[in-house]
A and B are shown apart, each in its own frame.
Chain A
């Protein structure tokens, strides 16, 4: 609430008008206008310009006030919201405006200690790992229902704190979050070890046991989705957790943590420490009493995390790191669809496609109507964000015979892209997360221009407030240019030309990353060859960013270690114990 008040006082009269409208509609039972419908007021309304193009001074002149209070800003330890040991707090910001939303308790080593102690006790003494898997699964299912009930608030909080499109948060990511928790709830009572054939008269079994206390460090690009990728499998397997959220986006995890406890999670099972990497994150990675570490973030930090694990107690580590994913378009591809997909593969920070749509539009998959709906099966207008995705298709390789056509259409598509307040419905792209990322992306764009890549469109920031960047397309990019090598994490598409299959395989693989890839062709042999030849954890063929619960995701090479989602993700949170005993007079071996 404090944050909301502060926010309001800094806003113009229009904002106050909106605020009072929201509270009026909330208090008036006769009104049919819900707070959420106010979020979708279109351009031309009394709020003034809702769509901002590249020349305006402020992209978001009258930012929509999120219909949510910040209820939880302290650390969640042993089932209680508590201040940090130091009493310190840090500001968390609205990336649309750069304004402070609220101040959040700043966890440090001592708080990590407290959280680990609580998690240790909850693991060693129970009840969590000792209760039946069916009971654990019931709690996770119940939590999923609660999240569904509070999805509007969670989505608003997510957008407010991360700049993510509200539509994307509400319609895609929260349903995906719920879907993933239910997926893991369903695993809890199906975690099987093996009975093992023995060479002699022995009875051998494997027990798949929870590892213990899991330390988890998650990034800001998908705060809630990263939460479930980490927390879901760890809980399903019976572990306890200390979670460190990104300092940019601490708010939704605390809310979700509260709801998990409401669903019946025992205290100490999930502890959430907000704070910074070098302090809280490092303390977690090097803690002697944390049994397992999972990290998603940059390759650089991933290295540090792995090193800290090695230097402390050799805790096993899973890493999901950076990417520079190739998107390869062959001559026989449907070019319009490829343009649209490549556009989203890069500019997207969003889980897409059938799985979510089936949640949103009902269960019956619609027949694909490619002509009408270039990207989705029966979808509404695709929503979008700002390329802040580690698997973004950031190197677009296009066959020479369709290269010119592709470049022209890709640039045209990027020019049509709407940038602005992520709470507004017509917007395709919100702000970057913070000034640091914002500046970094602008430096990469400058480097692209200087290295003589051809700037087809964009290339600059938008406005003077908030962290908005023009959708930017470079063509004639060469493999050795910085923009073709580094992970930019922003709305910058690099288009490269190729001639034949072997060449593009070699070039696509000539990166230290190996997170994901896209292949666009109608030829089954090309598709199959590339599926095996690309050194990446995911190959999307004629699609991109399909993030079903059961599809494993993770990196080859310096994109990481281990897989998240799917049955594979359970391995991260289980350890295998072989149990052997002699058999007397066995009937068979």
Chain B
């Protein structure tokens, strides 16, 4: 694998933007934390401090919720027609797109995201999310009902109220818009807590939302840590809904806090250990195989796939994410970096064969070599737990029934991949896999119109698509007697 990891080449690729927004965004203003505290956000390319960001805590969340509550209960946002919300969201989208380079650079510095992908994909996709839901804002229909007596009944699909969004660091931009755009379209107001590792782009988007004319108090951003600011959101008595993306472990805490506080609605998008199942009739040159963390390969094609994967890993360029030739950047922070390395050690101890990689890449920053284990058994930790790093486990299988059973023998159910040219195999496996999305001969085929979310311990509720919008609404039935109706 090629080395581009020194982390100091950045200036030759782009202009590193000035960090303009490091305070909390509450009621349309950037403000310090009440405590005055700040925390460091780190460049994972070199471990250096990028900026010191206001550290929100319970009191700051209180202020943000108050602003959101006021904006929902008395403000224009839920009271304006859906198309008017849509117009402001369209403007917001245009601003995001116009600032794609700056936003992408923030994510690259803060999260180690590939800059060229960010500029060409993550940021435009964020804008596209806003546009998708902008177009949905005037298409939220209730129903008139078929009542069994002389009653006229209908449903009103109303915004749920104040929403708390707690989002992770792996896709700072896409997560931000995946959460906020449908909630905005529905007419909700919100408090967003970005991950402590990646607070910068969220604050930048808050600024752009203000430029776009989203009213004050509708979109608030409180940067800070999960145990403090995150917990304050999950347990807040005046938040009507919490939407969380992150680990299964923290998802449980969020749900518990919701249960013990005001029974707020919860949606969770949690961990996964997604299988990719490669059948004998698959095209072994397809790109799909590189994506999964548990790759089941049918015995007839197993050796060929292993060779191709090693070949691919050798040519995989790891390094500075600002470099357009790089395919893999660093892990987000030291903690993740060490966690991934410890999983690799665990795999070795459990008896999996390390075929490729397995170590830190270079000397600076949090880079890890692309790592491939073979002879992995289903019960091993590397086959069961979400590693969240460039570690692939390869397993061999014989029959379709066996593949289904083994693919499902996980507590997770987020996604799955099937690689086959056989329509019957594809259809059977699609229904049999207990996962929220199944990609056939493709992978990571996300789309704004395509719902995404988990089965089992991968969570509940769906992001993306119209389903995500309904997640931020609640239904009211209205019933009144009707007299002398010519039909029922």
Contact = CB atoms under 8 A, between A and B. Distances in A.
Interface in A560-589: 567, 581-588
Interface string B60-72: 0000000000000
Interface string A136-162: 011001000000000000000000000
Contact of A182 (B86, B432, B482): B86
Contact of B80 (A185, A365, A524): A365
Interface string B475-488: 00000111111110
B149 interface: no
A549 B449 contact: no
Interface in A508-548: 524-525, 528-529, 532-533
Contact of B427 (A182, A365, A501, A584): A584
A182 B80 contact: no
A287 B469 CA distance: 43
Given A186-B136, A528-B152, A549 B424 contact: no
A584 B383 CA distance: 28
Interface in B5-40: none
B431 A587 contact: yes
B256 interface: no
Interface string B124-150: 000010011011111101000000000
Given A529-B482, A532-B485, A364 B135 contact: no
Interface in B439-459: 448-449
Contact of B431 (A134, A187, A588): A588
A191 B484 CA distance: 37
B79 A533 contact: no
Contact of A532 (B81, B137, B487): B487
Given A203-B427, A363-B81, A186 B480 contact: no
B348 interface: no
Contacts of B131: 134, 137-138, 141
Contacts of A179: 83
A189 interface: yes
Given A581-B423, A587-B432, A525 B132 contact: no
Nearest to B141: A567
B212 interface: no
Interface residues of B, number: 37
B138 A183 contact: yes
A525 B135 contact: no
Contacts of A190: 132, 135-136, 139, 449, 466
Nearest to B466: A190
Nearest to A184: B135
Nearest to B484: A529
B482 A528 contact: yes
B76 interface: yes
B427 A525 contact: no
B344 interface: no
A186 B139 contact: yes
A364 B480 CA distance: 29
Contacts of A587: 428, 431-432
A358 interface: yes
Contacts, number: 108
A533 B486 contact: yes
A185 B135 contact: yes
A192 B487 CA distance: 30
A174 B432 CA distance: 52
B485 A529 contact: yes
Contacts of B432: 585-587
B482 A532 contact: yes
A584 B83 contact: no
Given A190-B139, A190-B449, A550-B139, A584 B485 contact: no
A532 B486 contact: yes
A533 B135 contact: no
A183 B424 CA distance: 40
Given A528-B482, A533-B484, A363 B135 contact: no
A302 to B, nearest CB: 26
A481 to B, nearest CB: 27
Given A186-B135, A355-B81, A358-B84, A364 B76 contact: yes
Interface in B251-276: none
Most chain B CB inside 10 Å of its own CB: which residue of A186, A359, A365, A532: A186
A584 B428 contact: yes
A304 to B, nearest CB: 32
A583 B139 contact: no
Nearest to A138: B131
A322 to B, nearest CB: 24
B105 interface: no
A354 B81 CA distance: 9
Contacts of B132: 134, 189-190
B90 interface: yes
A528 B138 contact: no
A354 B82 CA distance: 13
Given A137-B135, A189-B448, A190-B135, A364 B481 contact: no
Nearest to B448: A189
Contacts of A583: 424, 427-428, 431
A355 B83 CA distance: 9
A532 B136 CA distance: 29
A188 B86 CA distance: 15
A141 B90 contact: yes
A420 B80 CA distance: 36
A208 B79 CA distance: 33
Nearest to A202: B427
Nearest to B430: A203
A225 to B, nearest CB: 16
A525 B483 CA distance: 7
A51 B142 CA distance: 48
Contacts of A584: 424, 427-428
Contacts of A141: 90, 131
Contacts of B86: 182, 186
Most chain B CB inside 10 Å of its own CB: which residue of A137, A179, A189, A355: A189
Given A137-B131, A567-B139, A567-B141, A363 B84 contact: yes
Contacts of B484: 501-502, 529, 533
Contacts of B427: 203, 581, 583-584, 586
A533 B90 contact: no
Most chain A CB inside 10 Å of its own CB: which residue of B83, B90, B138, B487: B83
Nearest to A141: B90
A187 B139 contact: yes
A189 B466 CA distance: 11
A358 B135 contact: no
B219 to A, nearest CB: 16
A588 B80 CA distance: 44
B431 A586 contact: yes
A567 B484 CA distance: 30
Interface in B170-214: none
Contacts of B424: 582-584
B132 to A, nearest CB: 6
A363 B76 contact: yes
A364 B484 CA distance: 38
Contacts of A567: 139, 141
Nearest to B431: A587
Given A182-B83, A187-B139, A532-B482, 15 more contacts: A134-B448, A137-B131, A137-B135, A190-B135, A190-B466, A192-B466, A203-B427, A524-B480, A525-B481, A533-B486, A549-B83, A567-B139, A581-B423, A581-B427, A584-B428
Interface of B: 76, 79-81, 83-84, 86-87, 90, 128, 131-132, 134-139, 141, 152, 423-424, 427-428, 431-432, 448-449, 466, 480-487
25 contacts: A134-B128, A134-B131, A134-B132, A141-B90, A141-B131, A182-B135, A186-B135, A186-B136, A189-B448, A190-B136, A192-B449, A363-B80, A364-B80, A365-B79, A524-B480, A529-B484, A529-B485, A532-B485, A533-B484, A549-B83, A549-B138, A583-B428, A584-B427, A584-B428, A585-B428
A-B residue pairs, 4 tightest by C-beta? A186-B135, A363-B84, A363-B80, A587-B432
